[in-house]
Amino acid sequence: MPVNLEKVQSSAPGLVDLYKAAKVNLSKHGLDAERAAVYLVLDRSGSMRRYYKDGTVQHLAEQALALAANLDDDGVVPVIFFDTVAHPPVDVGLTDYEGRVNREHKRLKHMGTTNYAAAMQRVIDHYAASGATDPAFVIFQTDGSPNSRSAAERILCDAAKLPIFWQFVGFGDDEFTFLRKLDELAVPQKRAVDNAGFVEAGQDPRAIGDAEFYGRLMGEFPQWLAVARAEGIVG
């Protein structure tokens, strides 16, 4: 069962409005009864510095946590920070989310490059080890292209056979040519099913209202669920 409103009100009152916005959006997409493990992957390449400093990345984490409270039974989001490497996941929950992103970011110190492939593999490994029976919904945030496009594309295509949906979110003014390519990779020539979506959040992601943002996040997830079930990828 998802986390109920009363628990959110008592343990994370600052997330109540986000929780309600996520709930309304899931209902609009016919996802009221769906369960999924929500993951958050965060880019900490050098160009991301301002988005950590101004609280934009923290807000994304709060949006992800409120979504997880509606979709997952424990309301905990495994967060994977990545730069030149992918760092071990840290669990962020309703009682310890405030300021958590910057604390973890500062703990990791040096900001590096943009290794999508390592971050994606971390998600896949964590999901496999978790023993989860529900699918995974991965919010994968970045502000640019990866170190190795071929490695990232290969992992995404291989992962199309897994019950994992990748929702890429682009911060900043990059053209995101590569993420658009991932979003549109051919099926079945390149991958078993369309297992990715892309949201361009622009230079000021917080200018997007929470309700609109959740709408964009859920743009392709329902269709993926239907196709993945038909193909036996999701139970």
Q: What residue ranges do the domains of the chain occupy? A: 17-187+195-219
What's the longest Cα–Cα distance across the chain? 49
Instruction: List Cβ neighbours of 75 (8 Å cut-off, separation of 6 or more).
Output: 2, 3, 7, 8, 65, 68, 69, 93, 94
pLDDT per position as a tens digit, 41-59: 999 999 999 999 999 999 9
The percent of residues in the chain predicted with pLDDT above 70, rounded, is 100
Nearest residue to 143 via CA among 201, 182, 192: 201
pLDDT per position as a tens digit, 116-130: 999 999 999 999 999
The pLDDT, as a whole number, for residue 137 is 98
Model pTM?
A: 0.98
Work out the pLDDT band at 211, boundaries 50, 70, 90.
very high
The pLDDT, as a whole number, for residue 73 is 80
Mean pLDDT of 22-29: 97
How many Å apart are CA 235 and CA 21, to the nearest integer? 27
Q: What is the CATH number of domain 17-187+195-219?
A: 3.40.50.410
